[in-house]
Amino acid sequence: MNDLFYSVTVQLGGTTTFVNIDTGSSDLWVVSDSCATDVCLSQHAPPYPMSAFNSTSASVFLNYGDSTSGSHAGGPIGTDTVTIAGLTLAGQPFAAVNDTNNSALQAGGAGIFGLGFPTLSFVQAAVVNKQFNTPSKTDDFVLSTGQNGPLISRMALAGMLEQPMFPVSLDRNTVDIGANPGLLTIGQLPPGIDNSSLTWVPVRLYDREDGGLIAPTFATNELYPLRWEIPLDGVFLNGERLSESKELATGGVDVSVTTALIDTGNSLMRGPKDVVNQIFSKVSPSFAANSNSDTTFPCSTPANLSFQIGGKMFPVDPRDFARPHAQPGGDSITCDADSLAITDAPSIGTLFRWSLGDPFFKSNLVVFYYGNLTHPSVDPPRMGFLSTVPDNAAELLAQSIADAQASGGNFESTSDAAPGDASATVPVPTIMVPSGASPSTTTSIGVGSLTNSTASGVPHSNSASVSTYPHLAFAVILMLWVLAL
């Protein structure tokens, strides 16, 4: 009964379907009607019809997650017109997946909407390799982003965005249903939010030796980002700073700076084994007594897990940390710390120790700012954070427990399907944009959350970055719908 995936409605050609937003990867894919794997046969969202497929003659195979939670998706790459929240862009490359075991499909989605950097786009890499006969330099990757890159990057290059950014906040649909909808805002900050209210931190740039992009010949001294990864000052539990991880990295990479991937495609918060076990031992009496037991603890004892970012504390609401213990009927007395899990040690291309997924987003508004991805030194990528945890979060948890006990021991839970109209808009005055771009609008659509746990994050590919963003046009607000199965 956990809200774990968040989806938006997209129209891909003549097919309207649902895709899960994922800041840990960069590619758009939907399952096609030629997929016959078990998860494809069990999914209910509309597949993409191969009868409408416009092939690029390239194909892709995507690996998601880590060594304990991995999944895959593969298939041919085509192009089609994409509409999302009333914004339309023609010729968008995407994968029509015919082979996948990704659990997102079991939870109501039809694919993944990657919101990461073009540098991590396997679709763009495959298309460019096919077009340019596997070029030895990255110049062609960089320069082709406007044509072959991820959707939001292409929209920015087409002059459709006021700013190269997208803020995300996610709603809570389990334990204590949130009052505000989850939102994905494209092109500017959400209403009522300004720069001064955010804590801004730089996105990590990758050296080539650590798995980063080889600089193109027209920007030989630049370092590029791979993913939405930021410095993490420290991890705290109930006000106490936890010791730094001693888990060894692989491949000789530099781990002198602890970083975190900020990932909507990760349904959990994941960290190094030694630190995560510290947390389990402090929170769960059963785990402290036997590390092979469940990480159960009294629901009435709030766990206050916080991450220090940019010198400021960003707590996880105790209602987002606690999950009802899986048992028939429930009793609202015993909870699990299974919103937290262990992940792999840093390695080449994946230098982060932590991956902060959906529970973190339900407690914080996060702003993703691309900056200038051709020359990051001119306008570096960065991320902004704003805590949304109320001061009385512990009291609200206590009230939700009391409500559950009065309702037979079951916490409240709901499931919201994304609306079926990808072009739904709220009209605003139109702003002129360059030829070929969509009219400027502000729109709202829904996004859904699904229950099967997965961590996203595709390993690095030798792809490309985007060029300078032209000025302006609009913002889009998409309501994120949560599907709790």
- Give the number of C-alpha atoms closer than 13 A to the C-alpha of residue 434, restricted to the C-beta side: 14
C-alpha 253/C-alpha 248 separation (Å) is 10
* Cβ atoms of 293 and 336 closer than 8 Å: no
C-alpha 269/C-alpha 450 separation (Å) is 16
- Which element (helix H / strand E) includes 231? strand 229-231
C-alpha 259/C-alpha 117 separation (Å) is 17
pLDDT of residue 177: 66
**pLDDT beneath 50: ranges in the chain:** 1, 423-476, 479, 481-485
pLDDT of residue 104: 75
Q: How many C-beta atoms lie closer than 10 Å to residue 96's C-beta?
A: 27
pLDDT of residue 102: 85
pLDDT of residue 409: 65
pLDDT in tens, 165-195: 999 988 876 676 665 567 888 888 988 899 9
- Which element (helix H / strand E) includes 84? strand 71-84
Place of tokens 């009209």: 427
- Residue 441 vs residues 260, 282, 377, 424: alpha-carbon distances, Å: 34, 49, 31, 11
C-alpha 22/C-alpha 261 separation (Å) is 12
What one-letter code names the amino acid at 345? A
Q: Which residues contact 177 (CB under 8 A, 6 or more apart)?
A: 171, 412, 413, 414
Which of helix, strand or coil describes residue 164? coil
Q: Which residues contact 37 (CB under 8 A, 6 or more apart)?
A: 99, 100, 101
* Cβ atoms of 228 and 116 closer than 8 Å: yes
**CATH of the domain spanning 6-482, picked from 3.40.30.10, 1.10.3720.10, 2.40.70.10, 2.30.110.10:** 2.40.70.10
Token pair belonging to 466? 């985007």
pLDDT of residue 25: 94
Where in the chain are the domains?
A: 6-482
pLDDT in tens, 356-380: 999 999 999 999 999 987 889 999 9
Place of tokens 């959400």: 190
